[in-house]
Amino acid sequence: MATRSYEKDDLTVFWDSTRCIHTGICLRALHSVFNLKKRPWVDVDGADADQIIATIHKCPTGALRYTRGGESEPAPEQTTMVPMHDGPLLVRGNLRVLDPETGGVLAEETRLALCRCGKSENEPFCDNSHRRTHFTEAPHGETAARAEAQSPADICPPQDFQLE
Ligand code: SF4
Ligand code: FES
């Protein structure tokens, strides 16, 4: 199963292995909860709910999500897009990802890592294939490396998923 869940009190933490690109951000931010040497690797008793939620918000790909009291995490007001060097486009906001062929909604999220190399086997999401294929982005010149817009935002990747 791709998504596992971990519960305590009114908090449920979800981890989607297909969306995790192993940044290690969660491990470094809250080692008492996110620890690869333990099984399960997520121990929700290792910290209080606010600490866990603050760490989940740092996960750039949306692999980690949560509900608290049945409510999903609130979306940020601004939509931000930050390209990761030689990697995916990291997007935050009130997001809907649309299928480029049908226009159907593929995902409604607050955090995403969208593939820019075109090699992911989980398009349009990054699955770390950019590392395996040694993806190198084209130079951006003076282009701003960070973009912001109002939420909600619809994202419709190009049909070949090359987001450069
Ligand atoms: S922060 Fe998110 S993408 Fe990075 S290792 Fe943790 S779960 Fe995976
Ligand atoms: S950018 Fe990561 S798999 Fe394409």
pLDDT > 70? residue 163: no
Nearest residue (CA) to ligand 1, atom 3: 20
Cβ(65) to ligand 2 under 6 A? no
The DSSP letter of residue 35 is -
Q: What confidence tens digit (pLDDT) does each residue in 7-16 have?
A: 999 999 999 9
Domain ranges of the chain: 3-72, 78-155
Going from the Cα of 90 to the center of ligand 2, the distance in angstroms, rounded, reads 11
Task: State which ligand 2 atom lies nearest to the alpha carbon of 21.
Answer: 2
Contact 14, 66 (CB under 8 A): yes
CA distance 113 to 42: 21
Contact 102, 110 (CB under 8 A): no
**Beta strands 147-150 and 3-8: pairing type?**
unpaired
pLDDT > 60? residue 24: yes
Which of 6, 20, 30, 122 is the best mutation target for the ligand 1 pocket, counting ligand atoms within 8 Å of the beta carbon and taking the most?
20
CA 105 to chain centre: 17
CA distance 116 to 94: 20
Amino acid in position 48: D
Q: In 3D, which of 116, 115, 112, 68 has the Cα closest to residue 93? A: 112
CATH of 3-72, one of 3.30.70.20, 3.40.50.300, 1.10.3720.10, 3.40.50.1000: 3.30.70.20
Q: In 3D, which of 57, 50, 52, 12 has the Cα closest to residue 35? A: 52
Which of 19, 34, 64, 125 is the best mutation target for the ligand 1 pocket, counting ligand atoms within 8 Å of the beta carbon and taking the most?
64
Q: Max CA-CA distance within the chain?
A: 50
The residues lining ligand 1, judged by C-beta closer than 6 Å to any ligand atom, are 20-26, 59, 61, 63-64
Q: Please, which residues bridge with residue 80 across strands? A: 92, 148
Q: Please, which residues bridge with residue 129 across strands? A: none
Q: What confidence tens digit (pLDDT) does each residue in 59-104 have?
A: 999 999 999 999 999 999 999 999 999 999 999 999 999 988 898 9
